[in-house]
Every structure is written in C-alpha cells, then in structure tokens.
A and B are shown apart, each in its own frame.
Chain A
Amino acid sequence: MTARIVHIARNTFREAVRDRVLYNLIAFALLLSGAAIFVGQISIDIERLVVVNLGLSAVSLFGVVIAIFIGIGLVSKEIEKRTLYTVLSRPVRRWEFIIGKFFGLAGTLVVNTFFMAIGVFGALLYVAHRFSRPDALILVALYFIVLEFFIICSLALLFSSFSSPLLSAVFAFSLFVIGSFADDLRGFAGLTHGFTRWFATGAAYLVPNFSALNVISAVAHQQPLGAQLILQNTLYALFYTAMALSGAVLIFERRNLK
C-alpha cells in the first residue's frame, strides 16, 4: 500500500517538475533580489521588514497559485488523458491514488518552499549583513505556510475529484479568499441573531482559517510565537487536510469513471 502511494507521489512530483513548475523560483529570486537591492533606495528604514514580508508573502502566494493550478488538474487531467484507467486497472485503490497525488503535490511545494526559504535567508543576509536569533522565527512562518499549502492542496484535490478544472480553480481560490477572512466571518457571526448566526458560525468553522496560520507580520517584527500556537496550528492543519482528503476519497470512490 505504502509503496503504491509513494510511486504515485513520486510520479506526481516528476510530472510537476516536467511541467516546469519550479521555474517560478526564477521569478521569486528576481523579485526578492530586486526588493533587497532597491527598497533601501526608495524607502526609509524598512529594508529588513520588506525582505521578510515580501519574501514570506511571495512564498505563500506562489505556493497557493501552484497548489491550486496543479491541484485542480491532478484528477481531471488523468481522466482526460485516460491514464487514470491504466493506473486503476493495476492493483491500485482509488483512495491510494488520491493520497498519492496529494503527497506528490505537497512534496513539490515543500521542495519549492525549501529553495525559496534559501532565497529569503540569502536576501536577509544581504540587507542585515548577519543573522540574529529572532530570524529563526522565519522558519516557523515558513512551516505555517507549508501547513497552509497542505490545506489548499487537499481542497484542490477535493474539488478536482468531482468538478471541472475551471470550476475547481474558482472554488479553491474562493475558499482561499474566504479563509483569509475567517476571523471576520466569526466576528460577523457574533453580531447576528437566530438562523443567520447559526449559518455564519457554521460557515466560519467550515472554511479553512488561514488567518491563524499567517504570522508573517509578527515574524517580521520579531515577536515571539508560543509553542502552543505551533502545536495547535499543526493539529488544525492536519485535521483539516485529513477532512478534505477524506471528502475527496469519498467522492472519488463513488465517481462513475465510465
């Protein structure tokens, strides 16, 4: 079972690399080196802040875009190219296919994030000339960003398991936007009454809460992050990913592929 999942994951990773997904690293490198060099000349006293804010925001945005646009095609492309039938005609269960695809995409994003992280630390070294202890917090922010990717990958797979690529992209991106407002949605629920309150509260808990995973500003200001936050965010992301993947497996298991 594990070997089959690993095989599918490895092939998904290879396919992403063949699709030149990692080319985004070039754009990222250009963006970050440009910011590191030029911001000091057009702004005042925020060189380090810009590198951290821009670097981490770019890691997050690039990753989200990759997760959505690769994730939505993971199932539908296999159906379209009819390669899915070849895979499923072998002793591969449908759920193994979904899980393998998830790990393949997640692996691609982790590798991508790893190289971007090197870029962020390189740019930071360029502007600050040395690292300080609070810079280690950037690793926590990167970890949270990776957790965010896991959630988005699983959601993209969920939508991909029953919808067309275009609609899947719309759904996944909408959830990303709504998830960024999850705190506001909860605040809105608190202001309403009756059915609206129940509905808004339910929606607020159902959509992924990306604001809890966003610690970029705090890290840029070198504010400490508690171990509890790291632990609970990890658990939240893992449970949410498991939830979405379970949904994807449930739908895909019942999907008529004829």
Chain B
Amino acid sequence: MTASRRTTVIAAFCLAVSMTACVLLLRHLDRIRPKATIEDVLYIESPKMVKRASLGFDGLMACIYWTRTVQYFGHRHYERAHTYNELAPLLEITTALDPHLLPAYQFGASFLAPTPPYGAGQPDRAIQLMEYGIAHNPDNWQLYYNLAFVYYTELKDYKKASEIFDRGSHVPNAHPFMRIMAAQTAQHAGDYMTARMLWSATFETSRETNIRQNALEHLRAIQVDEDVARLQAAVTRFGERTGRLPSSISALCAAEHLPGIPADPDGNAYTMTPEGRILVQHPDDFPFISKGLPPGYKPSGLPKFHTKG
C-alpha cells in the first residue's frame, strides 16, 4: 500500500468513526437533556416582522410556517395536550405571509375550534382566522362554509351559522347546498338531520383524506348518538308504562317490537346497564360521541380513525 493510499484509508476511517460517534453522542445527549420545548417557542411573534424578514420570499415562508403549524398541532394532538398556546399565532403568521393559502384557513379552523384534546378550544380565534380569510378571498364559498361550521358545531350559534351560509350562498359559483344549509340551519337548528347534512356535505365536497376521514367519524358518532337517544327514550317509555326498568336490552327491544338488538355502525350491539343506561360496547372506536359512554369514561389513547373515506 502506497503512503498516499494509506493516508486516504486512515482519513476515511477517522471520518466514519467521528461521524458515528457524533451521532451516538447526540442521541445520548438528547436523552439526558431536559426535553426541548422548541415547539412552544415563537421567536418572532409579529406577522409583519416575519413578512419583512422574508425578503420577498413570503410564499415560501408561508409554506414553512404552515408546515410548522401542522407539526405543532400534530405533536400536541398526539400527546393529547390540552393547551395549544402557539397554534393561533402560528396560523396568524402563516396567513399574514400568504393570505391566499386556503388550507391554512380550512384546516386551521378545524385545529382551533374543537375542544381539547381534539383542538385548541379557541372558536373565537377560529372565527377571526376565517373572517380574515374571507376578507382576502371573498369569492371562495368554502371559507363561508367553514366559518358557518364553527358557529354551528362549536358555538351552537345556529342563527349566525344560517347567516353565514346565506352570505356564502351569494358568492359566485357557490355550491347549491349553501342555500339549503342556510334554510335548514334556520329552521331545524341542532337536530341530528342538520348535523348529518353538514358532515355529509363536508365529506362529499372535500378531496382531502384527513377532512373526509374526520367527517366520516362525525357521521358515525351522529348515528350512535341518535341510536342511543332513541333507545334511551324507549327505556323511559318502558318505565312510564310498567313502573320498572326493562330487565335487559332484549326485553326492551321485544317491548318496542324491534326486530333485534340495535347495533352501532361497527355491528356491535348496544348494551344496557341495570340502571337502564344505554351504552356502546367500544367507546374508543367512536371518538366524537356524546351519548352511550360509560360513567366517568376517559379515552384510553389516541382516537381510532377508520381507514375508509
């Protein structure tokens, strides 16, 4: 082996060893250091300042901030966190950098509005975001739809939701169901059919898999809530008629002349407690249900989403 070749081999070996050592040491350091809280820090909070600092490349910066927002929300959501302090500022910076970045409004509202752990529980900030989006994209009917959705599902302000649907229905090329939704929310606010219509519309008009999946889960939850409410009403009727609770869910179904024990969308039959309370068998499979949950129920882990959609 020549001297030059020997030097090359030794240098290559040193390089490989040093690189491996650096990686291993860093991994070790990550374990012993207190957990970095980088996701909870916004070094520059002013949207205007970030826009200036981007030197005209604000579109690229908006994409970077949007990706950061998604990562921040995803990380907090995965941890089932109850605080999302930086979510609204991140979304404000993203949309100030690029006011036409529609995914930031559409997904942003669904990150901000729902109650924790499904979202930040900040419907007011979601409304501000959507109003900003509408001001900069007045011809996009979907933004009106998303805004009305926040009023309907999170704030239960059906009158306002109806108004927003109506405003959106006047936008050129608005989907015809906007007009229907305006009328429906005005007349039948808060009922299952209207909620089902809203989520069905979301499912059918979105191309995005995550949104469709979320809509599908809500449709399944509405089905369960409606079933449980109907069965619970049957229990009450049974009690009024006989002066006692049904001995089992089979007895209840026989008294109500039902063909069999009703089942949830997964095909699992509903159950009944001795106190006459109707329950779903696997509440973890229905992350958005409000009825049929065992007393003191706490979700065991991350919501299970179905792959259909």
Contact = CB atoms under 8 A, between A and B. Distances in A.
B67 A39 contact: yes
Given A49-B101, A184-B52, A221-B100, A43 B59 contact: no
Interface in B1-60: 52, 55-60
Interface string A196-216: 000000000000001100101
B107 A44 contact: yes
Interface string B224-246: 00000000000000000000000
Interface in A46-79: 46, 49-50, 52-54, 57, 60-61
Interface of B: 52, 55-60, 62-63, 66-67, 70-71, 98, 100-101, 103, 107, 208, 210
A211 B55 CA distance: 9
16 contacts: A39-B63, A42-B71, A44-B66, A44-B70, A44-B210, A45-B103, A46-B63, A49-B63, A52-B59, A53-B60, A54-B60, A177-B55, A180-B56, A184-B52, A214-B57, A217-B100
B57 A42 contact: no
A45 B63 contact: no
Q: Which of A39, A52, A210, A220 has the most CB of B within 10 A?
A: A220
Contacts of B103: 44-46
A43 B100 CA distance: 17
Contact of A43 (B56, B60, B70): B70
B105 to A, nearest CB: 11
Contact of B107 (A45, A49, A53, A54): A45
A181 interface: yes
B56 A214 contact: yes
A43 B66 contact: yes
Interface in A201-258: 210-211, 214, 216-217, 220-221, 223
Contacts of A60: 57
A216 B210 contact: no
Q: Which of B56, B63, B101, B107 has the most CB of A within 10 A?
A: B56
A54 to B, nearest CB: 6
B59 A217 contact: yes
B101 A57 contact: no
A217 B71 contact: no
A223 B70 CA distance: 25
A149 B106 CA distance: 37
Contacts of A184: 52
B98 A217 contact: yes
A66 to B, nearest CB: 17
A249 to B, nearest CB: 29
Given A184-B52, A217-B98, A221-B100, A42 B67 contact: yes
Contacts of B62: 53, 217
A214 B52 CA distance: 14
A185 to B, nearest CB: 12
A49 B59 contact: yes
A180 B56 CA distance: 6
A220 B70 CA distance: 20
A43 B63 contact: yes
A60 B56 CA distance: 11
A221 B104 CA distance: 14
A214 B51 CA distance: 14
B63 A53 contact: yes
A144 to B, nearest CB: 11
Give me the 5 closest cross-chain CB pairs, A-B, nearest first.
A217-B59, A45-B103, A43-B67, A53-B59, A53-B60
Contacts of B100: 217, 221, 223
